[in-house]
Structure 1
Amino acid sequence: MEQVRQTRNVAVLIFEQVEPLDFAGPFEVFIAGSNSGQDFNVFTVAENDSPIKASGGLSINPAYTIANCPKPDILVVPGGWGSRKEMNNETITNWIRETSNDVEIILSVCTGALLLAKATLLDGLKVTTNRLAINELRDVVPTSTEILEEARYVDNGKIVLSAGVSAGMDAALYVVEKLLGEDTAIEAANIMEYDWKRD
């Protein structure tokens, strides 16, 4: 008899001036790879329950706050212009650090790496971010952190980081493959009619 697989909670962090595709791309990937919601329960989470205004003026209502969201198994930390402000928001970075203790995987997209750096999660890891933000990342990571400027995404085990914007979708598909197998990831890419660029 096939063992029933437990649904994993995928929390997608959003904040003011988040880059839309940084969070919506991985959100869509996990939905497409969820087997109609059986494998992944995907939701947004923000510091509070006020509508979030993403880059370009897109307004999003978070499903949960960091105080009441279901316990994440996977945490997606996107980037965008707002990450430069939120990296200094200790409420957010403390929550990321605390959440990191119990999650299976953290996926950073683009300048979400800045938040992970400020949450002191990148010590000794190999990391990447948006090509245009490499120097910003270099300024906030410890000397033990190795920045891979040309990597589309990089896997440290628990922490996976991707380069900018659409690279987050590639990394999310990689996470689906890592957890549920290549066939599921390929099927998810096909559902989205997306040309998956593997690293």
Structure 2
Amino acid sequence: MAQILTVAVCICNGVTYTDFIPPMEILSSVNVPATETLALLGDVMKNVPYKFAIDYVAPTKEPVGGTVSTLPKLNPTQTYSEALSKGIQYDIIWIPAGPLAPDPVTGKNPTPEEQIDFIRKQGPGAKYIMSVCAGSLQLAMAGLLDGKRATTNKALYKVIVNETSKAINWVPKARWVIDGNVWTSSGVAAGSDMALAFLEHLFGRELAQFVRGVFEIPEVNNSEDDPFAAFHGLV
């Protein structure tokens, strides 16, 4: 029987949907029963050692909106306070980019304090901590990147580096970076690249390549080479 890995996707109003919806679809592909369509394309998906149970965790149960008002809203499955009060420890913490524009009066970062507190408290017990795009800023705010190599969205790279601890070793060119159990990726589409690399880490290359072929995502041959670093003048 497959072991269940629990995932907390940390969201709030202003979240970037593409930082977590495609990656969660990629991870959830291993949950498809062996008798259904995906497995009919090959037997590599049979008898997988892990499956994923995903919670979308937010400050409240109110529907969460994305970066623009025309996007559909997502219903959270758990609140930060509920999860903490129940003593839930997630195996994987997945952190997409949240709201980035500071308060025009106070200059305060708009990410809800309970979200950063949840990440800070969950981090030490998590098997994996993973951020996409400016989700790395939330990891830095929670103190979970000090002493580690990490990367982030290249368009926001200089801003994030300037706003965060000098104890973080930011990598300007990487598509994604792995330092121990902390995985950080560049912007948006890089989250899907990291999700496929994570599948390979957990399940092996054959399964990851099978999923890649189903989703039709071109392979990134070198995680330390992100072409958008040059585009944004970082190298």
When normalised by structure 2's length, the TM-score is 0.76
Q: Distance in 1 between matches of 2:111 and 2:171?
A: 24
**2:139 is paired with a residue of what secondary structure?**
helix
* 1:62 aligned partner, one-letter code: P
CA distance in 2, matches of 1:157, 1:75: 14
| 2:62 corresponds to 1:62 | no
Equivalence for 2:163: 140
Q: Contact (CA 8 Å) 2:11, 2:64: kept in 1 or not?
A: yes
Alignment partner of 1:115 is 2:142: no
2:91 equivalent in structure 1: 73
Structure 2: stretches of 5+ with no match in the other structure: 34-47, 103-108, 224-235
Partner of 1:50: 62
What is the CA–CA distance in structure 1 between the aligned matches of 2:205 and 2:144, rounded to whole Å?
28
- Residue identity opposite 1:78 in structure 2: P
1:105 CA displacement: 0.5
The residue aligned with 1:164 is: 187
Greater mean deviation of Cα atoms: 31-40 or 129-138: 31-40
Q: Is residue 185 from structure 1 mapped to residue 208 from structure 2 by the alignment? A: yes
Identity %: 30
AA at the equivalent of 1:64: Q
Question: Matches of 1:20 and 1:129 in 2, distance apart?
Answer: 16
Give the letter for the 1:61 counterpart: N
Cα offset for 1:5?
Answer: 3.4
Question: Take 2:82 and 2:210, find their aligned partners in 1: how far apart are those partners?
Answer: 32
Q: Is the 8 A contact 1:124 1:144 kept in 2?
A: yes
**Offset of residue 193 of structure 1:** 2.2
Q: Whose radius of gyration is greater, 1 or 2?
A: 2
Are 2:27 and 1:30 equivalent residues in the alignment? yes
Equivalent residue letter for 1:50: E
Change (3 A) 1:138 1:87: farther
Q: 1:89 Cα deviation (Å)?
A: 3.0
Quick one: distance in 1 between partners of 2:25 and 2:52? 11
- Structure 1 length normalisation: TM-score? 0.89
Q: Name the CA shift for 1:83/1:43 in 2 (closer, same or farther; >3 Å).
A: farther
- Within 1, Cα distance between the matches of 2:82 and 2:212? 31
Could you tell me how far apart the structure 2 residues matched to 1:83 and 1:34 are?
Answer: 33
RMSD of the TM alignment (CA)? 2.0
Write out per-residue CA displacement over residues 108-133 of structure 1, whole angstroms, 9 at most, x where no aligned residue: 00000110010011111111111111
Confirm or deny: 8 A CA contact 1:83 1:112 kept in the other structure: no
Q: State the match for 1:102 in structure 2.
A: 125
Indicate the SS of the match to 1:155: strand
Contact map agreement 1:87 1:115 (CA 8 A) in 2:
no
Measured in 1, the distance between the counterparts of 2:127 and 2:77 equals: 21
Letter in 2 for 1:117: A
